[in-house]
Chain A
């Protein structure tokens, strides 16, 4: 079964803290995507990871990919309130984009 699992599904944290969101996928994938979605808004592409060991960083967010473990992580450093959103990972498997259920992140001042 083609499956992408994220955890946690819900995360409430204080500003200034670090945390990691995990994304596991069930079978070989060509690409791994991270998207952000604000309430009532569109999905915004954050990162595209293509190969084993790929690491990309944008501001306080860093994404990495381990294709052998079929695992991607999204690390948040020194969180700020503006990063509150729902984060989705999606894996390209057999030309289909298979989505995780999303991680709702709330960052409290």
Chain B
């Protein structure tokens, strides 16, 4: 079974440019998360989807960040315009929809963004 797929793995852009990240979750996983991870820190939630609905986007900086999951499968996270402080690793995770006492999240490899 394929894991969570993210692309690109690395992205270098100049400040004020737009950038987009793509995530394909594990097949059948209805819940999808986008996290931001700064160097030496734990992940910070940006947004959580249940199917195509964003059920928790309270920590998404909506002035420049946007996300979509139109068909409830893969998702795109966009930053426009990017700032120097956006340099980080952007992680996507998914979780199965079946009742499961563990509620584990499975993570993709991340996209490392460098803003110059």
Contact = CB atoms under 8 A, between A and B. Distances in A.
B is a partner of A? yes
Interface of A: 4, 31, 33, 35, 40-45, 48, 50, 88, 90, 92, 96-97, 99-102, 104
A33 B104 contact: yes
A96 B104 CA distance: 12
B41 A43 contact: no
Contact of A101 (B40, B91, B101, B104): B40
B103 A43 contact: no
Given A41-B109, A42-B110, A43-B91, A48 B104 contact: yes
A102 B107 contact: no
How big is the B interface, by class?
20 to 34
Contacts of A99: 42-44
Given A48-B102, A50-B101, A97 B107 contact: no
B99 to A, nearest CB: 14
A41 B109 CA distance: 5
Given A42-B109, A42-B110, A92 B43 contact: no
